Amino acid sequence: MITGASSGIGRATALRFATDRYDVCLNARREPLLRELEAGLPAGKHLVCPGDYSDPAVVDAMDRTIRREWGAVDVLVNCAGITSYVDVIETPYLQWRACIDTMLGGAVLVSRMAVGLMPPGGRLIHVTSIHGERVEIKASSYTVVKAALNQLCRSLALELAPRGILVNAIAPGFIRTPMSILPDGTNELDSEWFRQNYEDGHHLPLRRAGKPEEVAGVASFLAGPDATYITGQVITVDGGLTITF
């Protein structure tokens, strides 16, 4: 089961898992993009369950569909997310907390649903961000959620260990996805600021943004047979960004 599957990391993850011969359940708000993705996947008993994953009614509908069509879930990869540019003091409170309501609320709902369908050996994987430990101006709501998701994974890892379910997080850095598009329509990864600081500068050792497929590969590893003794961890995928001054 993959949330946020319509674009970016979620789409790449769906393609990777289907290539790995999983049946995949695709969730995101934009159903036409999910249908387009489904049509291009390798053959399998794939499902399309569109809607907002923070809406209990949508999650209940996914639960019913998966129970009817599959009967169980082996892996949840929660890639869905939104971003918001807000001011802690000046932004209206309900607008400020939109990231929290969507991403943290959605993560809890889909985790509860997936665990109810998951046998021993199952995996929960939440895609968080290096923003879970780093901050920048106008990103307070987003960073609070990412830090909370890291802690949620640790808590779930502890609570689900007796059931044989492993829980981990993946924290990407700069990844070339639609979320790199700024409110003014420009892509921050194509900006002079990014080139000077990260491609030509010293802050990003690998001197490039990552690809969604590089995050999907880590999710595939965490879901696979070589990751049976890894739980409660946050795996950073950032080209070395967070190791530098």
Catalytic residue IDs: 142
Within 10 A of 132 (CB to CB), how many other CB atoms are there?
Answer: 21
155 near 141, Cβ under 8 Å? no
Q: Which helix (DSSP H) or strand (DSSP E) does residue 166 occupy?
A: strand 166-172
Helix ranges (DSSP H) in 20-55: 31-39
Largest CA distance in the chain: 53
* Tokens standing for residue 131: 């923003």
- The structure tokens 């003794």 sit at 229
Q: In DSSP terms, which residues pair with 3 in a beta bridge?
A: 27, 78
Q: In DSSP terms, which residues pair with 170 in a beta bridge?
A: 127, 235
17 near 215, Cβ under 8 Å? no
